[in-house]
Structure formats: C-alpha cells, structure tokens
Amino acid sequence: MVGMVIAGHMPLAPFLIASAIAFSSVFLMLGILLATVLFIAGPIGFSQADSLLTWCLAMFVFTLGEMIIYPSEYLFIDTIAPDALRGSYYGAQNLTAVGGTLCFLSGRRVAGSC
C-alpha cells in the first residue's frame, strides 16, 4: 500500500489545493469528513474480512482515507491560522506524532512486551 500512497498522493494533493482555493474551507471540511468515514470503514472491513481480497479492499479504503486526510489537514491549518502564528499552528499539529509515539510505547509497557 506504500506504492499506492506514493502514486496516488501526488495527483490528489494538487486537486485538493485547487479545490480549497476555489471552494474555501467548506471543501476541506468535506474532505476531512470523507477521510474520517474511510478511517472508520477500513477497520470495520478488517474485522469482517474473511478472505485476502476483502482484507486488501479494507486496506485500500483505509489508505484512501490517509491520502485524503494528510494534505487536507495541512491545508485546513493554512486557512485558519493567522499569518503571524502559522508556524506555531503547524508545530502544534505535528505534536500529534509525539502523542502517537508515546501512546504506542506506553501501550507496549502496559502489555508487558517492552
């Protein structure tokens, strides 16, 4: 699926940027909503998968959500942040990566596999 993200992200990002310019933040909110629905549908598909094909389809749906959410969240931050604070907004958004890492490490510690 890494190849799908690399190949699909490049044509998708300019489309999202052009749509954000044309339709303002309403389009971005719809994109974020669509990506959230795909994020929910992917794990539901994983839980119901009874063959490799359905598992791959669920992975495709989840990856499509990733391809939509990441450019959309940066574009959304760009539209809501004041010019003087734009770097601070991006920095605060990137702190989510620290939270994800700490969550993973603390979960491993609680499970006893660390």
Dihedral of alpha carbons 80, 86, 92, 96, sign: positive
Grade residue 113 by pLDDT with cuts at 50, 70 and 90: low
DSSP 104: H
Q: Please tell me whether residues 7 and 51 are part of one structural domain.
A: yes
Q: How many domains does the chain have?
A: 2
Nearest CA-CA partner of 68 in 110, 13, 14: 13
Q: Please tell me whether residues 68 and 110 are part of one structural domain.
A: no
Tens of pLDDT, residue by residue over 81-101, are: 899 999 999 999 888 888 888
Tens of pLDDT, residue by residue over 35-77, are: 999 999 999 999 999 999 999 999 999 999 988 888 888 888 8
Find the mean pLDDT for residues 7-28. 70
Q: What is the pTM of this model?
A: 0.71
Find the mean pLDDT for residues 99-114. 79
Residue 112 structural domain: 84-114
Q: Please tell me whether residues 73 and 19 are part of one structural domain.
A: yes
User: Which residues are CB-neighbours of 99 under 8 A, at least 6 positions away?
Assistant: none
Find the mean pLDDT for residues 11-21. 69
